[in-house]
Amino acid sequence: MTDTLPAPPSPAAATVATDPAPAPVLTRLATRRPGDARRRARRLPRSVERLAGVAALFVVWEVAARVGWLPPDVLAGPSTVLTAGWDLARDGTLAEALSTSLRRVAWGLGLGIPIGTLLALAAGLSRLGDDLVDANLQMLRFVPIIGLQPLLIVWLGVGETTKVSLIVLGVAFPVYVNTSSAIRAIDPRFLELAEVVGLGPWARIRRVVLPGSRAGFLVGLRLATGVAWLLLVFAEQINASSGIGYLMVRAQTFFQTDVIVVCLVTYAVLGLLSDGVVRALERRWLRWRP
What residues does each domain of the chain span? 22-70, 86-285
Looking at residue 108, its pLDDT comes to 94
Q: Which fold has domain 86-285?
A: MetI-like fold (1.10.3720)
Looking at residue 38, its pLDDT comes to 54
- Measured CA to CA, the distance from residue 11 to residue 229 in angstroms comes to 68
For residue 122, which of 186, 196, 211, 205 has the smallest C-alpha distance?
205
For residue 146, which of 123, 131, 165 has the smallest C-alpha distance?
165
198, 137 in Cβ contact below 8 A? no
CA 121 to centroid of chain Cα atoms:
24
Looking at residue 74, its pLDDT comes to 81
79, 62 in Cβ contact below 8 A? yes
For residue 101, which of 276, 241, 223 has the smallest C-alpha distance?
241
- Measured CA to CA, the distance from residue 43 to residue 41 in angstroms comes to 6
DSSP string, 267-288: HHHHHHHHHHHHHHHHHHHTTT
Looking at residue 100, its pLDDT comes to 92
Of 64-68, 194-198, 254-258, 263-267, which gets the smallest average pLDDT?
Answer: 194-198
- Measured CA to CA, the distance from residue 237 to residue 244 in angstroms comes to 10
**Secondary structure (3-state) at 32:** coil
Looking at residue 5, its pLDDT comes to 47
DSSP string, 49-67: HHHHHHHHHHHHHHHHHHT
Return mean pLDDT, the chain: 81
pLDDT digits (tens, 9 = 90+) for 159-179: 889 899 999 999 999 999 999
- Measured CA to CA, the distance from residue 28 to residue 229 in angstroms comes to 52
Of 25-34, 62-71, 156-165, 255-264, which gets the smallest average pLDDT?
Answer: 25-34
pLDDT tier at 42, thresholds 50, 70, 90: low
For residue 253, which of 274, 237, 271 has the smallest C-alpha distance?
237
**Secondary structure (3-state) at 236:** coil
Mean pLDDT, to the nearest integer, of 94-114? 93
Question: Half-sphere exposure of residue 18, counting CA atoms within 13 Å on the CB side?
Answer: 7
- Say what percent of the chain tops pLDDT 90: 24
Give the best-scoring range by mean pLDDT among 15-29, 39-53, 149-163.
149-163
Mean pLDDT, to the nearest integer, of 7-17? 46
Looking at residue 40, its pLDDT comes to 54
Whole-prediction pTM: 0.75
